[in-house]
Each structure stands twice: as structure tokens, then as C-alpha cells.
Amino acid sequence: MGHTATAQAGSGGLTATEHRLANGLRVVLSEDHLTPVAAVCLWYDVGSRHEVKGRTGLAHLFEHLMFQGSKQVKGNGHFELVQGAGGSLNGTTSFERTNYFETMPAHQLELALWLEADRMGSLLAALDDESMENQRDVVKNERRQRYDNVPYGTAFEKLTAMVFPDGHPYHHTPIGSMADLDAATLEDARQFFRTYYAPNNAVLSVVGDIDPEQTLAWIEKYFGSIPSHDGKPAPRDGTLPEVIGEQLREVVVEDVPARALMAAYRLPADGTRACDAADIALTILGGGESSRLHNRLVRRDRTAVAAGFGLLRLAGAPSMGWLDVKTSAGVDVPDIESAVDEELARFAAEGPTAEEMERAQAQLEREWLDRLGTVAGRADELCRFAVLFGDPQLALTAVERVLEVTADQVREIAARQLRPDNRAVLVYEPTKADDGDQTDSDEEEGTDQ
């Protein structure tokens, strides 16, 4: 089944058609003949929020296992075949989904579809103790390199655990703990595949220089015979009060290059007008060198070498506002925190100026255009809105909803939730004495593992 592509108002002329196979696989196609490439994106509705206590990190570990071979493709063959055909590929895991994607020369599209279908339908034929141990070691090493052995590396993990209380499905991050990675068994992985890696738990998008009729024929040929299966448990309820009710705080003494103030705020769930308003608020406050916090702390006071404020959108739980400030040499964190609170209180009382609204909305519009301007970005966005909100067409008009947000709505969300009693705070203190030679070595903390 499907429907005709019709450009919606605010979609920039982009179109998408939707189809569903008999086994439940949802398919979204979007033609774009500008360049001779095609992107394939496959989202499975499973992420770390579906994991149970004692088996954290299993969704991410399984993402790695999906590249270890399937019935027809041995070992590292998936990478070798795609890259040998001139394409690129990868996969990521988040709280709310696991995705796999390839960008191919248009004439190699059939290969990418066959590869994705082969591992969806036959991964268990190749999943054994050797591949399990191999990828367990890879994931543990990734944890060491990205979390445990880098400055501020565990900040995201710590703040997430504070914002989402013990027992909450978002309490742990997708990377998982070393103990749980060690505890995962081959049977755990097999059961995980049987539960979540089914066509009726996935959305497949194909974007680019494609012939829709031929593309659908290939999809039916390779995916149509894969059986659906039920039995997937519903994700646990992620709702929480919109305000934590107190300020949670932890001081971390580590070998870091500079003192730092990091904080996470509970904010509205993705897919709401309030979340779009929060996105604009954080963009004005900490989105780049024209933001209020950068102007105050870095340019004017010179108490910080970096100051940023961004939004982690979450659909099944409150989103998180992420504040990250690295201090200048000799500056104490309480001085930074006082200035931050002063700026947030002023913003909550006065709201944004017309110029700030225009600049922030233009910045978010540019980011949206950047994502949808590439075939891979558009394929990913179509999958995201299909999996999380049930309608891929929403991806094509998302920016219109951001541009409709008013200054009063931005001020209101700031007053309601950018408050000291609605945040978890990490204060980093270096183990070495402050010698005045500190430099900013911060890197953006990725949320997709």
C-alpha cells in the first residue's frame, strides 16, 4: 500500500511516499535526482530504554554484532561489499532506536537493500561465541576511549543518571556498564534479536536518485519473505514530573584540564510545541558565539573559555537541556554558576528580543535544511518521525513548527523549567593545581553510541 507524493506546505518541495509490506515493514521513499546517489536507512524501534537492569548496553552491543556477518555475508563482508561499491555505511544506538545506513552510487542501491535484508532475516545463522566475544571487546574498548579515559568523559552518564532516577528506563546511557557488558551471554543476544529485529518493528527509508517502482520491487523481493513476529514488550513508562523539585549536585575530582560546570535540566518531550520553544531558548542562551552565555562568560567577564547550552530531544521521556562551561585559569566554579543563574533569571523574566528570536529560528532552520539537504540526512529524518511519532511526513515540515513558536512561549518555558530546582549539576575540580596554563580541550559529547 502507498500514497502519491504531494509536496506539503513548508516542505521546500520535498516529497515522500509511504508503503507497508504484508509482514509489517514500513517503507518510505523520497525521490531526489540532483546527484546519482541513494541513501538507505533502517530504524529498529529498540534502544537502551528497552533494556532491563543487569543487561545495560545490550542494544549497542547488538548494533556491533549486526556487522559481524549473516547467512550469506561472512565476517566483515558488509563493510567490504559496500565500500567496494563506492558507498559508505555505519550504525548507531540511542536511548530510543537503533539505526543502520548506507549511502551508495544509485546503480548500487540493490546491493544495499539485499545486505540489510540478509542480516534482518538471517543474522542468527552467523551469530556465535567468536563474534560475540570479538564485539564485546570492541564495545568495552569504545567505552574506555570515549568515556572512562578522556577528560569529562563520564559527565553525560553521570548527569543522565541524576536527571532520570534509578529504575527509570533512561537512567542508563546506551554504552552500558562494563559489568553488564561482561555479563551478556550469547543467548541474551539471540533473544534480543528474536524480540526486536523483525520487519514489523522497523522502518526502511530510501532517498535519492531512485526509481520508486523498481525500488519497491527490490524491497518486496528481499524483505517480503522475512516473517514478522510479536511478543515485543512495550517500553516502560518514561514520564516524570516536569521539575525535579530540588538541585542535585556532585563534585568530581579528576585529572581534567580545567574546572567545569555542567548541568542537565528536565525539559519537555520531543514532538511538542514546548520542546520547540525550549530548543529556541537554549539556542539563544548557549547556541554559539552570539549566545548570551558566551557573550557574558567568555567575551565580557572572561571567566570561561567555552560556554554552551544545547538540547537532547527525547520522545519517550523529558528532554534534557545540557549546559557545559569550562572555566578560565584561576576562576572558581561558584563565580560561573552565579553568572549563569543571573542570565537565566533575566531571560525568564524578560524573554528573548525580536532579534534573538529571528537569529535563533534562522539557526535552527539552517540546521534543518542541512539535514534534509543530503539524501542520508533526509532518510534518517524520515525514519525518525515514522518511528517516534508515527508519521514520516512530519520530517518535511518540522521547521515550520519551530518558526511558529512565539517569544512569549520561549520565555514561559524558560521561567517554568530553567530553574535551579530543576537541574542536576556536576562540578569538575582538577586533581592538579591550577597553574594558569589551562586550555579548552572539550569535545562535543555524542549521545548516539
* Spatial contact of 156 and 173, defined as CB atoms under 8 Å apart: yes
Please write the tens of the pLDDT for every residue from 27-82: 999 999 999 999 999 999 999 999 999 999 999 999 999 999 999 999 999 999 99
- Phi-psi region at 89: left, alpha or beta (left = phi > 0; alpha = psi -120 to 50): beta
Annotate 37-72 with DSSP letters as a single string: EEEEEEEES--GGG--TT-TTHHHHHHHHTTSB-SS
Q: Can you say whether the dihedral through the CA atoms of 44, 81, 88, 208 is positive or negative? A: negative
Average pLDDT over residues 386-397: 97
Amino acid 381 reads E
So what's the pLDDT on residue 254?
96
| pLDDT above 90 for 393 | yes
Q: Are strands 260-267 and 319-327 parallel, antiparallel or unpaired?
A: antiparallel
So what's the pLDDT on residue 272?
97
Own/partner contacts of 282-287, CB < 8 Å, gap of 24 or more, are 282/309, 282/310, 282/311, 282/321, 283/360, 283/363, 283/364, 284/347, 284/352, 284/356, 284/357, 284/359, 284/360, 284/410, 285/309, 285/343, 285/344, 285/347, 285/418, 286/310, 286/323, 287/360, 287/363
- Set 18, 51, 63, 343: catalytic member: 63
DSSP state of 419: S
Closest by CA position to 195, among listed 223, 171, 231: 231
Please write the tens of the pLDDT for every residue from 147-205: 999 999 999 999 999 999 999 999 999 999 999 999 999 999 999 999 999 999 999 99
CA distance 42 to 25: 10
- For cell 514520516, name the residue: 392
Q: Can you say whether the dihedral through the CA atoms of 324, 328, 330, 331 is positive or negative? A: negative
Q: Which positions ≥6 away from 61 have C-beta within 8 Å?
A: 135, 136, 139, 176, 181, 184, 189
Q: Can you say whether the dihedral through the CA atoms of 306, 307, 311, 312 is positive or negative? A: positive
So what's the pLDDT on residue 174?
97
- For cell 524501534, name the residue: 45
Q: Cα angle at 167 between 165 and 172, to 5 degrees?
A: 75
So what's the pLDDT on residue 153?
97
pLDDT band, residue 432 (cuts 50/70/90): confident
Q: For 386, what's the count of Cα atoms within 13 Å in the CB-facing half-sphere?
A: 29
So what's the pLDDT on residue 8?
59
| pLDDT above 70 for 449 | no
Please write the tens of the pLDDT for every residue from 211-224: 999 999 999 999 99
Please write the tens of the pLDDT for every residue from 268-321: 999 999 999 999 999 999 999 999 999 999 999 999 999 999 999 999 999 999
Q: For 306, what's the count of Cα atoms within 13 Å in the CB-facing half-sphere?
A: 18
Phi, psi of 140 (to 5 degrees): -65, -40
So what's the pLDDT on residue 110?
98
Q: Can you say whether the dihedral through the CA atoms of 175, 180, 182, 187 is positive or negative? A: negative
* Spatial contact of 242 and 418, defined as CB atoms under 8 Å apart: no
Q: List C-alpha distances in Å: 302 to 182, 293, 306, 408, 434.
A: 45, 11, 10, 31, 16
**63 counts as catalytic:** yes
Three-state DSSP class for residue 96: coil
